[in-house]
Amino acid sequence: MLFKMSLRNIKRSIKDYAIYFFTLIIGVSIFYVFNAIGSQASMLQLKKSQYEIVELLQSTLSATSVFVAVILALLIVYASRFLMKRRHREFAVYMTLGMSKGQVSVILFVETVLIGIISLVVGLLVGTALSQLMSAVVVDMFEADMSAYHFSFSLDAARKTVLYFLIMYVAVIILNNVAVTKMKLIDLIQSAKKTERIPNRNPWICLLVFAVSVAGLVYAYYTVGWNYETLGQTQLSVCILLGATATFFIFWSVSGIALKVIQSLKNRYHKGINVFTFRQISSMINTMVFAMTVICLMLFLTICAISSSFAVRNSMNNNMIEMCPADLELHLGNLDFSKEAESEEYGDTFTSLSDLYEKKGYNLTEDLSEYLDFYTYADPTFTWENSFGDVFQQDEGAAVSVQLDMSALEEIITVSDYNRLMKFYHEEEISLDEGEYVVICDFKNMMDIRNCELAKGRIINIYGTDLKPKYNQCIEGFISLGASHINTGVFVVPDSVVEGHAPQMNYLIGNYDASSKAERGKIEELQYSRYETIWNDLETTSHSVSYYYIDTKQHIEEGAVGLGAILAFLGLYIGLVFLVSCGAILSLKCLSESVDSVERYAVLRKIGVDEGDISKSIFCQIGIFFLAPLALAIIHSAVGMKFATYILETFGTEAMHQSIGTSAVILLMIYGGYFLITYFSSKNTVS
Amino acid sequence: MELLKVDQIEKYYGNKSSLTKAIDDISFEVEKGEFVAIMGASGSGKTTLLNCISTIDRVTAGHIYLEGEDVTALKGKELNKFRRDKLGFIFQDFNLLDTLTAYENIALALSIQKYGVSEIDKRVKAVAEQLGISDVLNKYPYQMSGGQKQRVASARAIITDPKLVLADEPTGALDSKSSKLLLERFVYLNQEQNATIMMVTHDSFSASYASRVVFIRDGKIFHEIVKGEDKRKTFFNKIIDVMTLLGGDVSDAV
């Protein structure tokens, strides 16, 4: 009997449940899709080095899943409580007819179980279908072979999804039970009576609060978006907190004054059924100030997460071509040589790469079609402190300095070596007179710092020679292969300056003598195996070599692709869940509002309002309700992205515009989808 | 001159197996400037009749003419336009929008007819004066008494100068004092403002304020009496007599 009632209840209130159901299904399928990515990726024929990245991806995603599960759990609890509140009158009827609270609980329990099972099954089906689409994305991200792809179902991911959602549903059941036990019949009956409470906020206080909030927000914007160079950890937290609080009070005050402002525009207010529309919006927003704030902040995070993760991914892939102009880089040296440099032995024990390889019985330049080797130097007295330490003394607020080890030695290269290298890279060469120096740098934050000193014509002293800067700023460039702009600075000096001094590092840059992908792979493997053999018995034989490293274009590419993929998936995962949550909350509120307003629309029809005007009014109401948090979130994001661009400078953010496009499309699809569903079902409800 | 002509209308509910004749061949006319009451017990078909006239419901057969225009032939948008421009409604449960103030509720009827703001303001104040609700204009429905609410609803109904005001049990939810106040306002609107009012009621006291009463039983016109030169008290007694004949409970009539 109770089971039958539950079944009928679900059927009857399908309109209310539709959005809830829809959200559960999306939640389940997103959860499944992202947890299945790992197993999908491992099915592709990936290179060995990529498996590590897939593993990293898998563990990152599963860690994020816990966070996502918490968000989804909160959403589900919120939605189910919301739907339950709408049914107080129904419970009152049950209880006046003599049904016990236990029996009401049973009805709710059966309903939750039914909805849970159906949503899990449907969600997993949808998820499996979607994850096939996702495979294409995975293939694309890892730049793998599409032909290796075939239909897949991840049992692990399915099991995990079921487990997590079971826990969520159990939580919902327990909370519902608690709510039922707390119910009082009198409250239930009275909740049936509509009591439209219109909060009457003092417009002057609202105006004041609005002004203060905007001022607070502008301050936070300025600090984060324009004054970021002096931004410390605590200051950032303060700004975030300030931004969130200001968001809340902006919604609070705007909902208080907006109506008053519109009312004063009498011509607009008393036009058609505007008066009705504005009142509806105002009452909707008034009761949702907190929820709107949460939604606004979640949208903000979504936009930032998706845009910046995609920006980094895309830029990294673009950077690759520019940042890796050669196939192979080997370097050998003694970084921590400051003590030994003073000893006379040092110069004799420095081992060059070719010496080392020869000693081990290898030919260094074997398999290379072209190559270049050069040395870099380091003056033990020429540290970061000596080259730009003054910047921080002048500006004590600079928090950036905290993280820097100012005793690090600057890397020095002769102008002739530098020009040879640039020729090899097909980049611009430079000319340098005696007594001059140039700084090569492409790490944006570091460039800013160095430029301060260069602009002042900072005189430096290397190996006892005074040098003055040739330019008032750094030259953007690098000497080492890399995936992104991480060159913190290299000093180019006239050859004469380093004459008679031992080098610190020996570089070899080369291109493989290969025409096919397979050949390249073979040489790559050979290089790595040589490197490993040499490295393994290095420490015992040569004390001066403490730094020996290999880097290849292929290796960097794989790492970057993998890192980019992880970032993109993470951004997408969190973004999607947040978007779905926002859409669901707004939708539920709008739909319940239209159920409450059915009679109002009936009145409007009775006094002869056109159906078209009613539709327009509904569109307006839902549109403004969906747009208000989005509008503020977009403004937040504009500043947030400015800050993110600064933070992510290292990885390159050239692809920012394109990725903002990507996030706009995703936003439009999910958020817009929720909007449309809400609009049509609202229309359906009131007609 | 006749304003409303109801011509042999019928309204059936249900399906083949169980057919209910809510209205079974009713014809009558309403003159311009009349105050007609339709009386009958619950289930006699009086609300259905009103719904058909107001185009909220459709007739199964027959025609209804307002100023010579056949309203049963109207469709879709024309219906809304017709209701908006020609009719004024007063309902038992007021049907005010609870989110709007009294002023806004009344003004809404004009603003959907695209009146200008100054015109709206002038008219709302004038009609509020006539109905004695000037002091509650800025209140919300939940802050008003039942009588005030019904007078606000009446103000909304007549502010557009409708050809015909339709009132469905307007005193149904009011206490006797508020009822009397409201009905006196109706008489004022009818006599001084020349409004044509058609009121459905099962309450003889309310009906006695009308100038003519049409009795309905089982979907048919049962009887019709005209007030003429009678005092209201006499007319009331006549109504009671007919109600007794109608088979309605006497206690129901008082």
pLDDT of residue A59: 86
| Residue pairs between chains A and B whose CB atoms are closer than 8 Å | 81
Per residue, the 3-state secondary structure of A115-137, as one string, reads HHHHHHHHHHHHHHHHHHHHHHH
B107 interaction partners in chain A (CB closer than 8 Å): 270, 275
What type of residue sits at position A533?
Answer: T
Task: Determine contact: B226 vs chain A, CB below 8 A.
Answer: no
Judged by CB atoms closer than 8 Å, whether chains meet at B80 and A270 is answered as: no
pLDDT of residue A7: 79
Burial tier of A178 (Cβ tally within 10 Å: 0-12, 13-18, 19+):
exposed
B87 interaction partners in chain A (CB closer than 8 Å): 608
Interface test with A, best of B53, B79, B80 (most A CBs within 10 A): B80
Q: What's the ipTM? A: 0.82
Shortest CA distance from A263: residue in chain B: B104
Judged by CB atoms closer than 8 Å, whether chains meet at A613 and B120 is answered as: no
Among B76, B77, B111, whose Cβ lies nearest the Cβ of A270?
A: B111
pLDDT of residue A520: 82
Chain A nearest-CA distance from B155, in A, is 13
Spatial separation of the C-alpha atoms in residues B111 and A495, rounded to whole Å: 87
pLDDT of residue A555: 82
Which residues are bridge partners to B64 per DSSP? B6
Strands (E), A419-536: 436-441, 460-462, 465-469, 475-476, 490-493, 505-512
∠ CA A578-A584-A590 to the nearest 5 degrees? 140
The sheet with strand B69-70 has its strands ordered as: B19-31, B2-14, B61-66, B69-70
B64 pLDDT band (50/70/90 cuts)? Answer: very high
Spatial separation of the C-alpha atoms in residues A176 and A11, rounded to whole Å: 20
Task: Determine contact: B106 vs chain A, CB below 8 A.
Answer: no
Q: Where are the domains of chain A?
A: 1-193, 326-555
Task: Determine contact: B109 vs chain A, CB below 8 A.
Answer: yes
pLDDT of residue A349: 58
B163 interaction partners in chain A (CB closer than 8 Å): none
Number of domains in chain B: 1
Spatial separation of the C-alpha atoms in residues A534 and A548, rounded to whole Å: 9
DSSP state of A383: B
Q: What are phi and psi of B55, to 5 degrees?
A: 65, 10
Among A194, A272, A283, whose Cβ lies nearest the Cβ of B111?
A: A272
∠ CA A198-A203-A208 to the nearest 5 degrees? 130
Task: Determine contact: B71 vs chain A, CB below 8 A.
Answer: no
Q: Which residues of chain A have pLDDT under 50?
A: 337, 340-341, 343-347, 396-397, 399, 541
- Structural domain of B22: 2-253
DSSP track, B82-102: HHHHHEEEE-TT----TTS-H
Q: Which residue has the tokens 């936070």?
A: A220
Of the candidates A566, A564, A579, A563, the one whose C-alpha atom is nearest the C-alpha of residue A68 is A579
Chain B nearest-CA distance from A270, in A, is 6
Chain A nearest-CA distance from B86, in A, is 10
Q: What are phi and psi of A494, to 5 degrees?
A: -60, 150
pLDDT of residue A126: 92
Among A196, A274, A275, whose Cβ lies nearest the Cβ of B142?
A: A196
pLDDT of residue A622: 93
Among A272, A274, A603, whose Cβ lies nearest the Cβ of B95?
A: A603
Report in angstroms the alpha-carbon separations of A389 from A396, A411, A472.
Answer: 12, 16, 17
For the ranges A518-527, B133-142, B235-244, which has the lowest average pLDDT? Answer: A518-527
Judged by CB atoms closer than 8 Å, whether chains meet at B89 and A607 is answered as: yes
Beta strand pairing status for A547-552 and A328-333?
antiparallel
What's the predicted TM-score (pTM) here?
0.77
pLDDT of residue B63: 92
Of the candidates A150, A149, A153, A145, the one whose C-alpha atom is nearest the C-alpha of residue A46 is A145
pLDDT of residue B124: 92
Chain B nearest-CA distance from A579, in A, is 31
Collapsing DSSP states into helix, strand and coil, what is residue B38? strand
DSSP track, A632-658: HHHHHHHHHHHHHHHHGGGG--TTHHH
Spatial separation of the C-alpha atoms in residues A488 and A410, rounded to whole Å: 9
Considering only CB atoms, which residues of chain A are within 8 Å of chain B?
A: 194-196, 198, 266-267, 270-276, 279-280, 283, 599-600, 602-613
pLDDT of residue A285: 82
Token pair belonging to B19: 């057919």
**C-beta of residue A259 within 8 angstroms of C-beta of residue B96:** no
What CATH number does residue B243 fall under?
Answer: 3.40.50.300
